[in-house]
Amino acid sequence: MKVKTFILSFAAIIIIVAAIFLINRLTVFNNNSEQDRYVTDGDIIYLNTALDVKYVGIETCGGCHVDIYNIYIESQTGRSMSRMNSSNIIEEFPQKEAVYDSSRNFYYEMIRRDDSFYQREYRLDDDSKIVHERVEEVQYIIGSGRNLRMYFYQDNGMYYQLPLTWYVHENKWDMSPGYSEFNNVRFSRYVSPMCFSCHNGHMELSATANNRYNGKIHLGISCESCHGPGDLHVKQKKMEDINLPFKNAVTIVNPAKLSPQRRIDVCQQCHLEGQAWALNGDNTWFDFRPGMLLKTHRSVYSPSDIKKEAFRVANTAYRLSLSRCFEGSHSTMTCDLCHDPHRMTTKMTVDYNRQNCQKCHPPQSLPGDKSRFAHSDTDNCIPCHMKSTGTENTLHGVINTDHWIRVNADDDTINWKSLREISIDNPVTSLVADINNEDEDSYIRKGMAYYEFWNDKSIITAYLDSALYYLTKGLKISTNNATGHYFLGRVRYYRKEFSSSVLALKRSIALRPEDADSYFYLGQNYVELDNLELAINNFRKANDLLPDEPEYLEKLGVTLAKHDVTEEAITTLEKALTKDKQNPYVYYTLGNLYAQSKNNPSKALPYFEKAVILDPDIPDGFLNLGNTYFLLANFDQAIISYKKAQLFNPQSPNALVNLGRVYIYLGQVKDARDTFTQALRISPGLQVARNLLNDLPEL
């Protein structure tokens, strides 16, 4: 019995031990599941890397870290974005002369009215009289004032760039970067999340529209851009009750304590620009957290043909990686070896830079008479080994130092041509990854990058072909990647393969039914396939998912108008104007609907007037404005509108024909004859002008 009892007791002990083991094992599994929300580096878990931790703003940080805060807000990064007001002026006022853009025939000037600032666009006729004018208020500045300052206005949570920029080193006003080289988009260039993620602190994206931001924004690159969101840290310091699930957990990131790659990635989030990008998974541009490996957030690509003579402003990390000294350091040569992130001053001293170089290159190791120049321990290393642009030869007015450290760097002549010009004659290059996570979605991201490169930086269709190749290849490996199918649909759409695009987008929707953009592009395809009912259905679904997205409303309204659903088209387009007041085509379409479908020129008039203020070159804008004035018997304004239509589009005879009709109505036969004759000189086969001319009475 005793033996039996002993055996039973032993078995019971085994069961108890097993139970304890299972409980402990489950605890480990649960802890591991919890731990997956956070970044672990070495033996430290960073709790503020979880995506649900809130940002508090730089002012909150300054409440405790007073000295660092006061230094940092005077640095270039701390002043990266600000409000435009009379207290921070560095520009020239009044502007000496207007800046003329010959490509679009517009003049621009910055004007000050008391404590408010505006940018004014205008156009002159042959007699130097103003025939077009548009004015927008300057509300925000991006740029610390070291290189340049760009200006923005905000409308309904969307931020738009203005055409003029102040170039500090040249001490002058000129067109904003890209406006002269590529395309003057005037007042419609919006600031994307990618741009804001580096030129400002964290911003809250709208959940109901694209490229819009909620609420009041914090201005300037903040402490949290490098240390991560601060809410947990603040609560901990205030002795509030917070959950610390691990003994080795901390509530804030100190980049100095990160392992080398994660430490570099804090800087590379903004200083590894590349030329094409692809976010991993469902990441947004605001989802990177300091402490993360950058490759888990995005892939960054550059052309394979590395150029010594041209380098991008925000690509210093990539250029540094080309240096022998960086390679020899095995990634321990981090940015803060030379840069103090709290004191990003305008100019580092020669002594400071030299001391940093001599940490690895002591004076006794420097070459003597055998080199081009005899070295001494008091020399300035930078001019010979890190090429600087200087003030006379900059890219977009930004003085920059090439971080590709090399012997005889000063021998290389800087040539920005390849970066300034988009041409069909530019040689085709391949994209290589500067940083990329080698996983099953790698080919898909490369295809996305080729698409973005084609869309943003090139007009060469070979890049669209490469996008198709890598997306197709990647989707054979990762068949259920919704983003991959969505981008495949976009690529096929722009290749005009509409039926194939439909299939790809339907697959994207099947995998991710809440993706509004897939429905939108599906609708675009059905428009091209002339199936307006299906187009309307898909635009509706896109709008249901993102109800405040004006582009969806605009496209839905225009398509309803094409499908002769006039009342709903008008309602939809007027709703679009409550979301976005900057699109001239919406005003123009509403003008046409009221003038033609509703036969209500009085209602049409303000829409046409607004359309031509926003864009005087909108096709037939002034022509239809003139027609509307004519219907309202306002002949003087009709004549002015027709003359502007012909002035802005000299090769179009239609405005001249209608102008001649006004002259006939007013009994001005000679003016009518001259006008029809002018129309026939432009278009000799225009029968309506010839008939009207022949029907005129003799003088």
Which runs of E-coded beta strand occur in 168-268? 172-175, 189-190, 249-250
Q: Does 26 fall in a domain? A: yes
Is the same domain home to 99 and 26?
no
Return the residue matching tokens 């649960």: 30
Average pLDDT for consecutive 10-residue bins of the chain (699 residues)? Answer: 35 37 37 74 96 95 95 92 94 94 96 95 97 97 93 96 94 91 90 95 96 91 97 94 86 96 95 93 97 97 81 83 86 84 70 84 77 78 83 70 86 71 71 95 98 88 96 98 98 98 99 98 98 99 98 98 97 97 97 97 98 97 98 98 97 95 97 97 96 90
Is the same domain home to 451 and 336?
yes
Q: Does 610 fall in a domain? A: no
- Please state, in angstroms and as integers, the Cα–Cα distance from residue 301 to each residue in 235, 403, 429, 441, following that order: 39, 18, 12, 15
The per-residue pLDDT for 417 is: 67
Is the same domain home to 438 and 305?
yes
Q: Does 449 fall in a domain? A: yes
Instruction: Record the tokens describing residue 287, joined without a space.
Output: 């989802």
Domain limits for position 324: 273-479
Is the same domain home to 282 and 163?
no
Measured distance CA(162)–CA(151) in Å, rounded: 6
Is the same domain home to 307 and 455?
yes
CB 191 within 8 A of CB 217: no
Domain boundary among 430, 447, 479: 479
Q: Does 690 fall in a domain? A: no
Is the same domain home to 102 and 187?
yes
Is the same domain home to 392 and 292?
yes
Instruction: Record the tokens describing residue 108, joined without a space.
Output: 């621009």
The per-residue pLDDT for 17 is: 37
Measured distance CA(183)–CA(280) in Å, rounded: 30
Measured distance CA(263)–CA(267) in Å, rounded: 7
Is the same domain home to 278 and 176?
no
Is the same domain home to 281 and 215?
no
Q: Does 596 fall in a domain? A: no
Burial class (CB in 10 A: 0-12, 13-18, 19+), 563: middle
Q: How many domains does the chain have?
A: 3
DSSP, collapsed to helix, strand or coil, labels residue 262 as helix
Domain boundary among 446, 479, 512: 479
Is the same domain home to 7 and 119?
no
Measured distance CA(436)–CA(295) in Å, rounded: 5
Is the same domain home to 330 and 422?
yes
Measured distance CA(144)–CA(161) in Å, rounded: 16
Is the same domain home to 31 and 108?
no
Q: Does 677 fall in a domain? A: no
**What's the predicted TM-score (pTM) here?**
0.88
Q: Does 495 fall in a domain? A: no
Domain boundary among 479, 507, 531: 479
Q: Does 256 fall in a domain? A: no
The per-residue pLDDT for 637 is: 98
Measured distance CA(529)–CA(533) in Å, rounded: 11
DSSP, collapsed to helix, strand or coil, labels residue 255 as helix
The per-residue pLDDT for 463 is: 94
The per-residue pLDDT for 189 is: 94
Measured distance CA(630)–CA(626) in Å, rounded: 6
Characterize the bridge pairing of strands 81-83 and 140-142: antiparallel
